[in-house]
A and B are shown apart, each in its own frame.
Chain A
Amino acid sequence: MGKTMVHRDILKVVDDVRIRQMRGGTVVTHAALNALRSAALKTKATSSKEFLAELKENVKYLMKIRASSIPLSNSLRFVSLDVQQAADRGAYVKELQNILSNSATQFDTKLEESIREIAEIGARRIKDGDVVMTHSYSSSVIAILKRAHQQHKRPKVFVTETRPELEGRDVARELAAEGIDVTLIIDSAVSRFIEDSDKVLIGAEAVAANGAIVNKIGTATIASVAQRARVRVYAAASTYKFSPETMLGELIEIEERDPSYVLGHSKMKRLPHFAVRNPAFDVTSPQDIDLIITERGVIPPQAAIMIVREQKGVSVS
């Protein structure tokens, strides 16, 4: 047993996410599950106790990827629970490997299916010729827009570039590749173009028990501007984004990221000293959200508590 039990594959995925190759909570969750599965298959553990200890270390390390990523923590909890229960039943390492692999695949599949379902349901809310404004990168939002476009609804999309990492450009690229009409704007231009928009469609990193949405910084601003302009705000989030912890009063932690994403290292060295702060997410209050589109249907934010209660049953506190 080495000093660090964290597998190389796990270290790699955490690094990949850190150097910004991953976009969106769902994508990150897929990657984390893949890494977990691959690490388990390559395990050198000789007893179920060792295997479980390794799993625990790997999970702990993966949770560092994104403090506020609920589908990530939900998925890791889901898999851990399955493996733990099998170990309690007396399963050996080989069986535990299979259980882990199947469990990860099961969650992955459920996640994929939920995105497909959200796309179907969400696309129904898009009317022909709708002008939709979006922010940051969300697999669910992209799926909805692609589906609507496939249904010949010809949505026109305003895509915010989304500082500091400019993942909006990836959104623009994916939508443009489908032939969708895209206009790229800076985040500050939202109030200029909100009056030309029919709806705002955003993803969610997490949904709290009171229906508040945690999402990329700038989301709360856009939702507020939209409300003021009487433009509907729809959030697309699979039930795996709903956070059981918030029901117990826990606050969702907002990650502050490396300030060099805001002001590059060389500029920071050249300019006289001043502080730089880079909160990665913000909280959109439920009153600025009209609907949440989940794979189980469309709900008002006030109904989020029902879904959160069910999630609590799935997870281990």
Chain B
Amino acid sequence: MRIRGARLIASSAVEALQIVAQDSSAKDKENFVTQLSDAARVLLETRPTAVSLPNGIRYVMHRVNAAKANATSVAEIRQVAIKAADDFVELTRTAVGRIGEIGAKRIRDGDVVLTHCNSSAAISVLTTAWKLGKKFETFVTETRPRFQGHLTAHALARAGIPVTLILDDAVRYFIQDVDTVLVGADAITANGALVNKVGTSMIALAAHEANVEVFVAAESYKFSPETMIGELVEIEERDPSEMISNQELRKIGRVKVRNPSFDLTPPKFIDLIITERGIIPPLGAMLVLQEVFGIVTPEELREYQTYRIDEA
């Protein structure tokens, strides 16, 4: 949890892979690629729900595996690995800015926008819109258990945007005053469902019932190719200490504590998804997945033979 935020998680993992490539002393292609694969496997275990991480690794390994066949030396493949890592990190950097540009057009003067958790893509939309001179207000949920909403409130307020901080519980109370809900994404599934910070699905439900539109800001590497072949996105449950200290827990007595970090919002509660490649309806997620990953088989996913997009 020291590295937070999908973009950093994915970038860090990819950079780690890059270091393995740079430092590898493997003498032949087979060993080199195996070393990378092993490292990839270890990195994959660190954060089960953040699909950006496996996608980042996929981006690098797909190109490495493609190069393996034709390469004449380890050095050649090493170059491919290093460049792929750089390209992916660059992609993550520019995607957020691009989403800001596209999404800002959807913010209207006088809008009241509600957001949840701390999403750099969502913040990018809002700060970009503000820089374009749009006048609007925001509601920011505190976002238990780690109060990540405070970071969002800070970022928006610093940009000069009016912010009202509220409890996660108070969304339904204020929803009538809201025009748009704008959230980020930890993962988008093949059927257009959203995996995001726990509480998102309740906010989307309240919005849906109040006829308030729900926008999701999601970079293309948040889309989960595993879900194309029927895999479910695993919802990480984290340590109870995020919610309650051991001391407080002892005062309560013998109780269980459960701390799921994410929840699932069905596509029918989502109006549109803003990606760096453009805006799509949730049911268009399949299109993005096919463009980015192709039609995948389980074997291809396991061997990272996916992530076909060559340009950012």
Give every chain A residue within 8 A of B140 (Cβ-Cβ): 274
Cβ < 8 Å to A, chain B residues 103-153: 140, 142-145, 150, 153
Docked Cα-Cα span, A46 to B109, in Å, equals 66
Docked Cα-Cα span, A173 to B251, in Å, equals 8
- Interface pair B253/A276, CB less than 8 Å apart: no
Query: CB within 8 A of B153: which of A185, A228, A274?
Result: A274
Give every chain A residue within 8 A of B260 (Cβ-Cβ): 189, 192
Give every chain B residue within 8 A of A190 (Cβ-Cβ): 202
- Closest residue of chain A to B255 (Cβ to Cβ) is A182
Give every chain B residue within 8 A of A275 (Cβ-Cβ): 162-165
The size bracket of the interface on B is 35 or more
- Interface pair A221/B169, CB less than 8 Å apart: yes
Can you list 20 contacts pairing A with B, beta carbon distance less than 8 Å? A161-B144, A163-B167, A173-B251, A173-B252, A176-B255, A183-B255, A186-B145, A187-B169, A189-B259, A221-B172, A224-B172, A224-B205, A224-B206, A224-B209, A263-B142, A274-B153, A276-B166, A277-B166, A279-B170, A282-B173
Interface residues of B, Cβ cutoff 8 Å to A = 140, 142-145, 150, 153-154, 156-158, 162-174, 198-199, 201-202, 205-206, 209, 235, 243-244, 248, 251-260, 263
B contacts with A: majority SS: mixed
- Closest residue of chain B to A160 (Cβ to Cβ) is B169
Give every chain A residue within 8 A of B256 (Cβ-Cβ): 181-184
Give every chain A residue within 8 A of B156 (Cβ-Cβ): 274
- Interface pair B172/A169, CB less than 8 Å apart: no
- Interface pair B202/A185, CB less than 8 Å apart: no
Give every chain B residue within 8 A of A263 (Cβ-Cβ): 142, 150, 165
A129 in the interface (beta carbon within 8 A) = no
Query: CB within 8 A of B258: which of A185, A187, A273, A276?
Result: A185
Cβ < 8 Å to B, chain A residues 153-187: 159, 161-164, 169, 172-173, 176-177, 181-187
Give every chain B residue within 8 A of A267 (Cβ-Cβ): 150
Given A217-B167, A276-B164, A278-B167: A225 and B202 interface contact (C-beta under 8 Å): yes
A102 in the interface (beta carbon within 8 A) = no
- Interface pair B169/A217, CB less than 8 Å apart: yes
- Interface pair B150/A188, CB less than 8 Å apart: no
